[in-house]
Structure 1
């Protein structure tokens, strides 16, 4: 029994470490963006945000690859492929002598990180069922939520001690440790007789079903809008806090407060969503974000776009609480009509929502003008457009 419990704890820690690779790859880099822009003599410091965007570009396409591969060839071999690409990308980033090579390495990291991000859920589904599966995933996601809180602090420490290239060295080390542990201690969970042949026809049929299901498509697009607003914050945060507010030493703490707000929203959502329903939670969160952003916009007019740090955080913390309520509920509603193609459907929803969010997030980041206006108006645009999409195209079927 003790051996089984030890195995279970090891399994949970391994999955959490694998899933955290994406979050760490994004958030640990944030304190270094300004320094990267200076090192590569970028004409606009906002261009450094492409180190974040390029990772998500790779991640979006990678998510389409590994789901079908893991169903056809088992769980382990596609993860080996993903880790190999991530490690190669990390080495390329460490050695990059130009900004273009750095971006190429980040795309490879994104494609590689998609494998553990996507396939870990399938590993749990293969091994466990029902309440046991829910319990393990709850613990995994609890650990996963902590990573964005501590990652910028880790990145800041590495940046101060050794320079930004060694942040990629830390990512490389984490990939090696979790990859070797996975290789040595995790067995293959998908039996040969349960594997499905890789088929382009099946993928096209799945994509056709997604576009035919209006509810799935609407909430996939809304999820993309919300992700775009969040990505706009990721792109803007270093310039906002480090450059505009001169809070380089406190950047990790300020970023952690918003990340904790998202984590708290996940906990609250788990407690009340069954009572309120996902649609009501989504509408409540979007309307709250509209009112918050509208009121804050009035404050920006009075302060020439640069309110005090206190008022900025007073806006961001509840705004990210609303965004935290949206993330899980939007994904669940998008997946609700896609039960027949759950694995492939999940990959399509993740890919399309990421591709929708990338240009929005990039536009917000590149619009940075030494005020908070671009971020605030980006959040307002995202929330209003999402509400319009739901109002115009979501028609829940009345229950008999």
Structure 2
């Protein structure tokens, strides 16, 4: 199915502008993580972090709180609309960014980072609902890939931007810059994006119904394997982000070249999302993503071998990590669109509960992987392999043991 759903009123915004606006909003979370990675050492020293792995908590608490926060904005967006929830989210995110810039202790930093992550949840949940309001099937997967291609540019360039700000003005200005970008996004949204929620899909804030809708969105067999599979694969990437500064900068000895190396690996995700947007309507989201998860597992096996046969050699790690991240571009958008297909009438609630399990689960997995860092790349390599094997098993569960199918009939919708 590759259909655009007619909204209740024609939007004034074109597809390209919609892609850029949604990518900007979603990229704020990525910028809040990747943009400050080069500053972790300086932040830890200035604010009194006790040990090397403790600095990872600056990233981990943001991701954990972000995962918890995803439970709420979807239902609010189903009741009050997409625009007001996004505008409120941007305002809260900007306020927390300013608060981080003013902090003077490591403990206070962690508390405010948790609030910042919680406030950023709407920037991940509501855009999915906006896309689902207007598109379905492989067309939805294509648009999500285009958003992903723009969105993933941020992890590529964010460390270099953060490094530049750090050299010129100090780490606090990284977060002040985030507040400024949030204000720009809010103004753009206010002026250009009309409400996309269909009037007949508005729901009252009724907790039992919300919980029932969330349960329908999560426990649907066709969706649950893709949601949890995405959580594992993104969790492996979060483990990479948590430990990247130590792994690349220290273990592989990249030092000041860390932003360039990190960006080079992440750049493959941009390319793969663009390719995915071109091929997914031809081959189908299932066929593309199933091939992707099998290849991800194969590359992870090579990662494990290389961590023993060529320890400490960046020339081996870099292309393999780039391949893993490139393959993720064929998985994230497609898994997400497949999981959302049955839920047009409860897109907000579905996006919330699925985003919770994706993001909170990924944050927990990433925290465990990051804290397992032992000065080598071996724990991370094994984590990639384990996560990909489990993701494949979950997809097989959702597909009842059959891969590479392409569904041509209508998708059953579940709503209260």
Q: TM-score, normalised by structure 1?
A: 0.87
> In structure 1, what is the Cα distance between the partners aligned to 2:64 and 2:164?
27
Partner of 2:152, secondary structure, is helix
Offset from partner CA, 1:200-252 (integer Å, 9 cap, x none): 12211112213542221111111111111010111111111222233232222
Residue 301 in 1 paired to residue 308 in 2?
yes
Offset from partner CA, 1:61-103 (integer Å, 9 cap, x none): 3322222212222333322321232122112211222222112
Going from structure 1 to structure 2, the CA distance change for 1:205 and 1:388 (only over 3 Å counts) comes to same
| Alignment coverage as a number of residue pairs | 395
> In structure 2, what is the Cα distance between the partners aligned to 1:296 and 1:143?
28
Alignment correspondent of 2:270: 263
**Which has more helix, going by share of residues?**
1
Partner of 2:329, secondary structure, is helix
Unaligned runs of at least 5 residues, structure 2: 1-9, 410-416
Offset from partner CA, 1:126-151 (integer Å, 9 cap, x none): 68999999998776544323222211
Task: Decide whether the 8 Å contact of 2:236 with 2:387 is kept in 1.
Answer: yes
Alignment correspondent of 1:87: 94
Alignment correspondent of 2:44: 37
Task: Decide whether the 8 Å contact of 2:149 with 2:274 is kept in 1.
Answer: no
Task: Report how far residue 43 of structure 1 moved.
Answer: 2.9
Alignment correspondent of 1:330: 335
The structure 1 residue matched to 2:379, chosen from 374, 387, 390, is 374
Alignment correspondent of 1:234: 241
Task: Decide whether the 8 Å contact of 1:19 with 1:144 is kept in 2.
Answer: yes
Residue 346 in 1 paired to residue 351 in 2?
yes
> In structure 1, what is the Cα distance between the partners aligned to 2:187 and 2:270?
30
Query: Which structure is richer in relative contact order (CA contacts within 8 A, separation 6 or more)?
Result: 2
Going from structure 1 to structure 2, the CA distance change for 1:245 and 1:357 (only over 3 Å counts) comes to same
Task: Report how far residue 199 of structure 1 moved.
Answer: 1.6
Task: Report how far residue 106 of structure 1 moved.
Answer: 1.5
Going from structure 1 to structure 2, the CA distance change for 1:288 and 1:129 (only over 3 Å counts) comes to closer
Task: Decide whether the 8 Å contact of 1:52 with 1:235 is kept in 2.
Answer: yes
Task: Decide whether the 8 Å contact of 1:300 with 1:373 is kept in 2.
Answer: yes
Partner of 2:72, secondary structure, is helix
Residue 360 in 1 paired to residue 365 in 2?
yes
Q: TM-score, normalised by structure 2?
A: 0.83
> In structure 2, what is the Cα distance between the partners aligned to 1:376 and 1:391?
23
Task: Report how far residue 5 of structure 1 moved.
Answer: 12
Mean CA deviation greater in 49-58 or 274-283: 274-283
Partner of 1:168, secondary structure, is helix
Task: Report how far residue 52 of structure 1 moved.
Answer: 1.6
Offset from partner CA, 1:175-207 (integer Å, 9 cap, x none): 123224434565555587764322212211112
The structure 2 residue matched to 1:174, chosen from 181, 184, 192, is 181
The structure 1 residue matched to 2:165, chosen from 158, 161, 170, is 158
> In structure 1, what is the Cα distance between the partners aligned to 2:81 and 2:260?
41
> In structure 2, what is the Cα distance between the partners aligned to 1:194 and 1:157?
46
Task: Decide whether the 8 Å contact of 2:231 with 2:358 is kept in 1.
Answer: yes
Unaligned runs of at least 5 residues, structure 1: none
Residue 68 in 1 paired to residue 80 in 2?
no
Alignment correspondent of 2:155: 148
Task: Decide whether the 8 Å contact of 1:89 with 1:104 is kept in 2.
Answer: no
> In structure 2, what is the Cα distance between the partners aligned to 1:221 and 1:233?
19
